[in-house]
Structure 1
Amino acid sequence: MTTVSTNKDTRTTDADFEAPRAEELAELLVRRTRPPRPGALSASMTFGWRAMLKIKHVPEQLFDVTAFPIMMVLMYTYLFGGALAGSVSSYVQFLLPGILVMSVVMITMYTGVSVNTDIEKGVFDRFRTLPIWRPAPMVGYLLGDVVRYLIASAVMLTVGVVIGYRPEGGLPGVLLGVVLLLVFSFSFSWIWTMFGLLLRSEKSVMGVSMMVIFPLTFLSNVFVDPRTMPGWLQAFVNNNPVTHVASAVRELMAGGWPGVDIAWSLGWSAVFVLAFGWVTMRLYNRK
């Protein structure tokens, strides 16, 4: 059946249009210059921006980096301050750097949840077909989450200053502590990308993440000095990566230079990236 369309005095039918021949299509494809392949940094930043756009459309995702940190600081400071240090003002000097590390490390679990959600929606099938650097989607998730960690750090430090925290290291010490924490958190998040690819549902990722994070964060020097603990527990606490990071951040913000704890923190970060990053990419290529 022939359809007719009119435009002023001109009458055109489908028969006036010829389908392009295969040779003509091939000539167009060969002649047209392809766009350059994006570099590793460009692709990773693009996926990082995609992660940030999710927050724009679902601002409730900022709850865990705003309300949650405030609740953690106020609850633990006023709950344990009088019992452990005699006063809130004394305890907050010890607690705030540790609770900062604890809160940001706990937030890292949502990286795995985001990865698992995109897998269930089929988005990763599209990512794997793109001519980009293979780890770019994963690195993009982590880069986007680094911004969330930075927001959480700023919120907690602001609340800490309001209730009496005074870092003797000043602004340089605070910045160095936050940078070290961001490096560690970025590396630690590779654990959750692995679980996000390995497990079948968001609930499974959340459950396993809690089983890993709670012992690491609570069995550390975040709340109390490990010297008050039994000997067998001190052996675990003193070799806990969260303990090294908390000690390094605490000393940096106090104006010191804890070289040993900084070295341990960076060493653990390298181990997490090399071990879990390799497993993550292997799962990503096969899933």
Structure 2
Amino acid sequence: MTAIAQTATGAVAAPRVSPSATLRHTMTLSWRSLVQIKHNPMELLDLSVQPVMFLLLFTYVFGGAIAGSTGDYLQFALPGLVAQNMLFASMTTAVGLNTDITKGVFDRLRSLPIARSAPLAGRIVADTLKQVWAFALFLGLGLVLGFRVHTGLIGVAGALAVLLAFALAMSWVAVLVGLRASDQEKVQILMFSLMMPITFTSNAFVRTDTMPSWLQKWVEVNPVSHLSDAVRGLLSGGPVASHAGISLLWAVGIVVVFAPLSIRAFRNRI
């Protein structure tokens, strides 16, 4: 009886996981998600096939009609395509999280002596790092097709930093959808219904002044427009500070709104 009482008391009084341990657990689970790619390369399919398909499609099918030449359109559209792909890639976070929950992976992880937030944070970090691969693929293929970077490595690093900051913010939207949806099919429908209008009503693919006046007002405040312009400025030259600042403000606003909602949904679901 004494041993049982001591065990129960120890369980109640078990210390909380320290911040350093939480960080270590998060990095371990993030590495777990990245290592899976070695055994299942298909996980990078969405981040590999879609960039190639969209870049070739928009450049060679629409480029001549929109800009007069494929080369001019590629120089304009590639930063917007990178921004669009970043948003669509956030679907993988929602789908992967929903899969882990519905298949009981999170239940098994809860039985381990790790921080409760580590599985969620680990997936967010891993999926954000996967965006680096998509960016490198986009830029590499763009260089082969004729895109030119006029700002050097500093501009490329700045563009990647802005994209990753926005991707990290959008991952909280994906987390909320992944937790609320009952299955993968609903996750994909909800995420696509959200991302499609935002990206295609921006200046990612066409210039704002070619659109109807009523649509221009939305395009000018659309976060994807500012993100696309920030990446354009960082890669091709042009205004950067205002567009990058507005993009980061949008990212902060998204985190402020969706992070608490996602954490609450996570605690209720797990």
Output the TM-score relative to the length of structure 2: 0.90
- Out of 214, 217, 222, which is 1:235 matched to? 217
Give the drift of 1:171.
1.6
Counterpart amino acid of residue 197 in structure 1 = L
Do the aligned partners of 1:112 and 1:196 also contact (CA within 8 Å) in 2? Answer: yes
- Out of 175, 178, 188, which is 2:157 matched to? 175
Alignment: residue pair count: 263
Counterpart amino acid of residue 186 in structure 1 = L
Q: How does 1:92-103 map to 2 (within 5 A)?
A: 92-103=74-85
Structure 2 equivalent of residue 64 of structure 1? 46
Structure 2 equivalent of residue 122 of structure 1? 104
Question: Is residue 2:22 matched to residue 1:40?
Answer: yes
Three-state SS of the structure 1 residue aligned to 2:203 is coil
Give the drift of 1:194.
0.4
2-structure distance, mates of 1:277, 1:178: 22
- Considering fraction of residues, name the structure with more helix: 2
1-structure distance, mates of 2:196, 2:169: 18
Q: Whose Rg is larger?
A: 1
Structure 2 equivalent of residue 80 of structure 1? 62
1-structure distance, mates of 2:250, 2:22: 24
Compare 211-220 and 253-262 and name the one that shifted more. Answer: 253-262
Counterpart amino acid of residue 86 in structure 2 = V
2-structure distance, mates of 1:134, 1:45: 14
2-structure distance, mates of 1:70, 1:223: 16
2-structure distance, mates of 1:117, 1:108: 15
Give the drift of 1:172.
1.1
Give the drift of 1:93.
0.7
1-structure distance, mates of 2:196, 2:3: 64
Give the drift of 1:131.
4.7
2-structure distance, mates of 1:78, 1:143: 35
2-structure distance, mates of 1:46, 1:256: 40
User: Percent of aligned positions with the same letter in both sequences?
Assistant: 38
Q: How does 1:78-157 map to 2 (within 5 A)?
A: 78-157=60-139
1-structure distance, mates of 2:215, 2:110: 45
Counterpart amino acid of residue 89 in structure 2 = I
Superposed CA deviations along residues 112-139 of structure 1, whole A, max 9, x for unmatched, are: 1111111111222234455544432222
Compare 188-197 and 123-132 and name the one that shifted more. Answer: 123-132
- Out of 137, 140, 147, which is 1:158 matched to? 140
Structure 1 residues 129 and 277: CA distance shift in structure 2, 3 A: farther
Structure 1 residues 235 and 134: CA distance shift in structure 2, 3 A: farther
- Out of 171, 176, 187, which is 1:194 matched to? 176
Counterpart amino acid of residue 67 in structure 1 = V
Do the aligned partners of 1:52 and 1:144 also contact (CA within 8 Å) in 2? Answer: yes
Counterpart amino acid of residue 184 in structure 1 = F
Give the drift of 1:23.
5.2
Structure 2 equivalent of residue 215 of structure 1? 197
Counterpart amino acid of residue 205 in structure 2 = F
2-structure distance, mates of 1:214, 1:146: 20
Structure 2 equivalent of residue 272 of structure 1? 254
- Out of 236, 240, 249, which is 1:258 matched to? 240
Output the TM-score relative to the length of structure 1: 0.85
Superposed CA deviations along residues 73-116 of structure 1, whole A, max 9, x for unmatched, are: 11110111111111111111101111111112111111011111
Counterpart amino acid of residue 22 in structure 2 = A
Superposed CA deviations along residues 196-249 of structure 1, whole A, max 9, x for unmatched, are: 111100000000001000001111111111111111111111111111111101
2-structure distance, mates of 1:68, 1:182: 18
2-structure distance, mates of 1:62, 1:44: 21
Three-state SS of the structure 1 residue aligned to 2:166 is helix
2-structure distance, mates of 1:132, 1:284: 16
Counterpart amino acid of residue 165 in structure 1 = F
Do the aligned partners of 1:170 and 1:255 also contact (CA within 8 Å) in 2? Answer: no
1-structure distance, mates of 2:208, 2:120: 36
